Structure 1
Amino acid sequence: MVNIIHTIEGFSQWVGRAFGWCILILTLSVSYEVFVRYVLNAPTVWAFDMMVQMYGALFLMAGPYALAQDSHVRGDVIYRLFPVRWQARIDLVLYIIFFFPGMLALFWYGWEIASDSWRYQEVSWNSPARIQIYFFKTLIPLAGALLMLQGIAEIMRCWLAMRSGQWLERLDDVRETEDMLMHTQDGAALLDDDPERRS
């Protein structure tokens, strides 16, 4: 079961990293548009659509990655005080009642939206460039499917935690600096040496 969980998580991480390049494309598109618009006085007709699609792709495809890294926002004021077995039970119930129905709806209706878009060969009506957007709309059901796949790994995690009383370690990836400082002895030493942190 651990190998299945880590395989799914590894795939979610790979997808997240791959679509992370959308940030670079988005940044270059915005920078280029600002330059040609305000310096050369020659705005493009495609930059707005490019920015919307890159941001949308990043937003959709980062979901499975964030779930695999347990980095979605959680209201854990009380949750964190519970024993691990109870945390796992709560997560399991919430995944079954809320997460999977929501992701199934995203996949189901996203599939309808994407298939209609492909059938009409839909283009953007926001700009004169008339950029094709049916490729982009395909990401909606794809994101739903990948989130459900990662959700299966999370259900398995809950099952293991209910049996063992410990959460399975997640695959390492990029972490927030503050998070790294809080979870390492070196970080604890750095915090102790920082006068602003002590005050």
Structure 2
Amino acid sequence: MLFVSRAIDKLNDTIATAVSWALLLAVLICAGNALIRYSLNMSSNAWLEIQWYLFAAVFMLASPHTLRRDEHVRIDVVTGRFSRRTQVWLDLLGFVFFLMPVCLVILYYGIPFGLESLRSGEMSSNSGGLIVWPAKLLVAVGFALMILQGVSEMIKRVAYLQGRLDASAFTKHAVTPEEEIAAIKNANHLT
């Protein structure tokens, strides 16, 4: 099963790396649109919408990568007081009872939502707007990837509980305040 987990991790890492370019593209389009709008007094709703679509792609397609890197929102103040084993059990329970059900419900409703938009050729109601279905299909794709990543994380937690995997495989290295201060001091000494 760890092989499956590694394959899912690699898939979401690859997608996140690719979609990071969408963020650069969104910033360039935003800057170009602002320059044209203020210097030439011209604008287009299509340019605004493509920025939204690119942001949606970044958010929906990179969220599973965030989960994989253990950088999602959590309450470390509470869980940090527990042993590593208890934390892993809490993660597992959270994945099983919260992450997976929510993702499955959104996927269940998101697939027909996106497919109906595709079938009808839905267009934006804004003048000069774009087709809408790519953004709507991103919901289903993003949550399908999140479900896969959830499965991967559950596999890793179970492997840890069985003693077959080290916790470093699914935890991030938290920088302590002391490490941050040392890094700032080192940076100041280099300049």
Query: TM-score with structure 2 length normalisation?
Result: 0.86
- Structure 2 partner of 1:102: 102
- Structure 2 partner of 1:34: 34
For 1:10 and 1:43, the matched residues in 2 are separated by 40
Paired residues in the alignment total 185
CA displacement at 1:130 relative to structure 2: 3.0
For 2:26 and 2:183, the matched residues in 1 are separated by 39
Taking the TM superposition and a 5 Å limit, the aligned residue runs for 1:1-199 are 1-125=1-125, 127-164=126-163, 166-170=166-170, 182=176, 188=179, 191=182, 194=185
Deviations 1:117-163 (A, max 9, x none): 012111111x2113111122111111111101000011111102222
For 2:119 and 2:73, the matched residues in 1 are separated by 37
CA displacement at 1:17 relative to structure 2: 1.1
Q: Secondary structure at the match of 2:77?
A: coil
CA displacement at 1:4 relative to structure 2: 2.3
Deviations 1:7-57 (A, max 9, x none): 211111111111111111111111111111111112223111111111111
For 2:57 and 2:166, the matched residues in 1 are separated by 35
For 2:115 and 2:100, the matched residues in 1 are separated by 22
Aligned-pair identity (%)? 23
For 1:159 and 1:52, the matched residues in 2 are separated by 38
CA displacement at 1:99 relative to structure 2: 0.7
Cα RMSD for the two superposed structures: 2.6
Structure 2 gap segments, 5+ residues each:
187-191
Structure 1 gap segments, 5+ residues each:
none
